[in-house]
């Protein structure tokens, strides 16, 4: 059965971040995910988890200066020390919040860095993170992101992500598969989730075009959910879409697709 997680960086944004936990719980979500927890005290978030009986299934490693447009630093040679400190901080938060998987945003390749240097830096940083997270019993995830939304993002296809994961050569690195990003870059959605199923630890959804609710665009999510059930997918499916209007009004897609929040 499909288990839905509310992405609080995209949903219920009508409220402040800490109020979104209640909104998610009130609308049937047993789990949430989001970009970063680091501007909040651990205790503030712990209180919300306890109060609303909700869990966090995913957040990201620190990714540089998000407000200035950075989308990860793992591929930047001059930021290796910062990356490693970020891994330690992420583990601290994840342990305190009961999070058992963390996503690494690979970053936008700087123009003055060669492809080879950027990839080698990314691989080395992922090796470091994979081992540190393994010791903490946390899975490391990597996510391909389309180059239309984030031009220059170094990890931009499933095939490239798998190649980088192979080079990392760790049993603690997994694919975060986002159907929206995959549709924009490559298509072949059902084929890829079947082909790489054993390497996928987390899934995210949004429709295309627009990155709105499932059912608003070209992706056949009915078939996708059937395929995930057939494959016996046990992970969470993160709702990482932009509501076309207001979050709650848009949740009608859950019923029309025959799903139930867990």
User: What is the per-residue pLDDT across 191-210, written as a single tens digit (0 to 9) for each?
Assistant: 999 999 999 999 999 999 99
- Ranges of each domain in the chain: 3-256
Q: What is the pLDDT at residue 261?
A: 53
As a whole number, mean pLDDT of residues 222-231 equals 97
Token pair 């929206």 is found at 180
Domain 3-256: which topology? TIM Barrel (3.20.20)
Which residues neighbour 6 within 8 Å (Cβ) at sequence distance 6 or greater?
12, 20, 24, 27, 29, 31, 32, 33, 238, 239
Burial class (CB in 10 A: 0-12, 13-18, 19+), 150: middle
Is residue 262's pLDDT more than 80? no
Q: Tell me, rounded to whole angstroms, the distance of Cα 206 from its chain centroid.
A: 12
Task: For residues 40 and 25, give the distance between their C-alpha atoms in angstroms, rounded to a whole number.
Answer: 20
Q: What is the pLDDT at residue 235?
A: 97
Is residue 230's pLDDT more than 80? yes
User: What is the per-residue pLDDT across 156-183, written as a single tens digit (0 to 9) for each?
Assistant: 999 999 999 999 999 999 999 999 999 9
Burial class (CB in 10 A: 0-12, 13-18, 19+), 68: exposed
User: What is the per-residue pLDDT across 21-47, written as a single tens digit (0 to 9) for each?
Assistant: 999 999 999 999 999 999 999 999 999
pTM: 0.96
- Residue 45, SS3 per DSSP: helix
As a whole number, mean pLDDT of residues 139-148 equals 98
Catalytic residues: 143, 240
Q: What is the pLDDT at residue 134?
A: 98
């Amino acid at each position: 059965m499909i288990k839905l997680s509310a992405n609080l960086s995209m949903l219920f944004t009508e409220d402040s971040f800490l109020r979104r936990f209640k909104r998610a719980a009130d609308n049937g979500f047993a789990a949430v995910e989001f970009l970063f927890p680091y501007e909040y005290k651990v205790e503030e978030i712990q209180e919300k988890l306890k109060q609303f009986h909700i869990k966090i299934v995913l957040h990201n490693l620190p990714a540089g200066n998000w407000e200035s447009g950075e989308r990860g630093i793992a591929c930047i040679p001059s930021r290796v020390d910062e990356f490693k400190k970020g891994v330690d901080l992420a583990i601290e938060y994840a342990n305190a919040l009961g999070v058992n998987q963390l996503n690494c945003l690979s970053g936008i390749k700087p123009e003055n860095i060669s492809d080879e240097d950027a990839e080698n830096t990314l691989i080395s940083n992922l090796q470091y993170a994979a081992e540190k997270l393994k010791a903490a019993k946390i899975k490391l995830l990597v996510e391909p992101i389309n180059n239309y939304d984030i031009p220059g993002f170094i990890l931009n296809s499933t095939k490239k992500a798998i190649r980088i994961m192979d080079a990392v050569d760790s049993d603690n690195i997994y694919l975060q598969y986002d159907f929206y990003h995959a549709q924009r870059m490559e298509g072949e959605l059902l084929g890829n989730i079947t082909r790489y199923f054993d390497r996928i630890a987390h899934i995210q959804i949004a429709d295309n075009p627009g990155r709105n609710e499932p059912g608003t665009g070209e992706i056949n999510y009915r078939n996708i959910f059937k395929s995930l059930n057939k494959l016996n997918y046990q992970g969470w499916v993160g709702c990482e879409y932009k509501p076309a209007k207001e979050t709650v009004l848009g949740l009608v897609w859950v019923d029309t697709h025959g799903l139930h929040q867990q």
